[in-house]
Amino acid sequence: MLFNTPQFFWFFAIFFVLYNFVFTSHKKQLWLLLASSLVFYGAWNYAFIPLLVFSALSDYVIAGFVERNNHDPVTKKRWLMLSIFINLSVLGIFKYSNFVLQSTQDFIGLFGVDAHISTLSIILPVGISFYTFQSMSYTIDVYRGNMKAHRGFLTFLSALSFFPQLVAGPILRAQHILPQLDNLPIPTMANIRNGLMLIMLGLIKKTMADMMAGPASTAFDATTPISSLDAWVGALAFSAQIYGDFSGYTDIAIGIALLMGFHIPINFNLPYFSSSPVDFWRRWHISLSSWLRDYLYISVGGNRNGNRTRNVFITMLLGGLWHGAAWTFVIWGAWHGFIISVTHWLTYSAIGRWVDARNNWLVRIFKVLVTFYLVVIGWVFFRATGFDNAWTMLTQMHMSTGVEASASSLVVLGLVVTGLVFMHLIDWLNIRFGSALNERSWLMWPILVIGFSLFLVVGDPGHDFIYFQF
């Protein structure tokens, strides 16, 4: 059940009426929320529901044992390791088993051995990467003493299955969502106006992202050489597509939660205006980058003992692998690990100090452009069907192919760049003036009507979101 479909509209309309006007007690609302979340999730495949419940139940029980053994550090750590083992095993079996089998076969083939290793018929449960990370972080927080083990499985399962963010994030921390479920918020008119505005912005960005899919596919799926300009158009189009698609989804998720009175933290903050790769990861998929920092980077050592570069690489490699079971995602993660490490080195170098001392608007623009270029290079690996496809794209982007670009390529390039700038512009306007706009109903409601009408006329209802595959 996709956000951008009539089915979801009627699903949420019925839920909203029941939640706010029929089931008014806390327990009834909680049961309704859980049931609705499971129906929402089951719309993809009801066979996935037991796995979701199992993940919730295992970490709920284990967190209780972790807390009970605070006096015994050894036993306490054993329970934590059990939680990590269970969650990573679930991810490993459903998401990475065939990747490991295929990679093993390819490795054996390097030695001239024709190995035939059968892959498994496993369907990847939608949203598994998100809810396993969310569930695992709860046990880790209890272990670290950052929160108490929660009393009430109904509430915990409702948190893990919370349908606005269940299938594609943002990744919610238990410390953030559980208190809201313990004391269910009442939506205000300000919540409703802001929620509708975010949903509208999300649908517009999703519509623009879908329009970028065509130029991206034309370049990446080309079977014959293309011009350097067309290759750049394809890479920029995918950069726009993935931003509009994913940030649009999270805007809708945050907006839907606001209609219920829940607050979900922002997940994107103008990432293509970042001044460095480090700054990019403070702005892009914030819930994942902060999760990787707090639960992985710090766990492997962080900045301690002079091993920051190694720990950054480990974190980004695993972050890349989290996105998908393919070597292109590993390379994408390694690329970001490399450019982040170089950024750290430059920051403390003589060159870095010289640049910072001249941090005028020209320098800032230069840093933004360089960062964006590095990010686009990374997106080539993210989008490519394989290493050969990525290498072909990169060589075509940076070397003459002997193929002449058509006049229409310049037009498409202009449209892609305009789309990129426009999506960031509406995000900036919402961040800067959203609250003030919501207070002016006479202006906001016409904008909402125009925005939703634009989506209905231009949009493609039912078009999948990119991050559903993760």
Amino acid residing at 241: Q
Closest by CA to 127, choosing from 99, 164, 155, is 164
Three-state secondary structure string covering 362-386: HHHHHHHHHHHHHHHHHHHHHHCCC
The C-alpha atoms of residue 413 and residue 369 are separated, in whole angstroms, by 17
Residues 6+ positions from 302 with CB-CB distance below 8 Å: 308, 311
**Catalytic: which of 26, 71, 116, 323?**
323
Active site residue 336: no
* Residue 223, CB-side half-sphere exposure with 13 Å CA sphere: 0
Distance of CA 326 to the CA centre of its chain: 17
Residues 6+ positions from 343 with CB-CB distance below 8 Å: 276, 277, 278
Packing angle between helix 407-438 and helix 228-259, nearest 10 degrees? Answer: 20
Structure token pair of residue 305: 């003992």
What is the CB neighbour count within 10 angstroms for residue 130? 24
Distance of CA 404 to the CA centre of its chain: 37
What is the CB neighbour count within 10 angstroms for residue 34? 20
H-type helices in 117-188, by residue range? 128-144, 153-160, 174-182
SS3 content of the chain, % helix, strand, coil (to 5): 75, 0, 25
Structure token pair of residue 2: 């996709």
Residues 6+ positions from 445 with CB-CB distance below 8 Å: none
Largest CA-CA distance found in the chain, in angstroms, rounded: 72
Amino acid residing at 76: K
Structure token pair of residue 231: 């290759």
Structure token pair of residue 451: 């925005």
The C-alpha atoms of residue 52 and residue 39 are separated, in whole angstroms, by 13
What is the CB neighbour count within 10 angstroms for residue 207? 21
Place of tokens 């929660």: 150
Q: Phi and psi at residue 266, in whole multiples of 5°? A: -60, 145
**Positions marked active-site:** 323
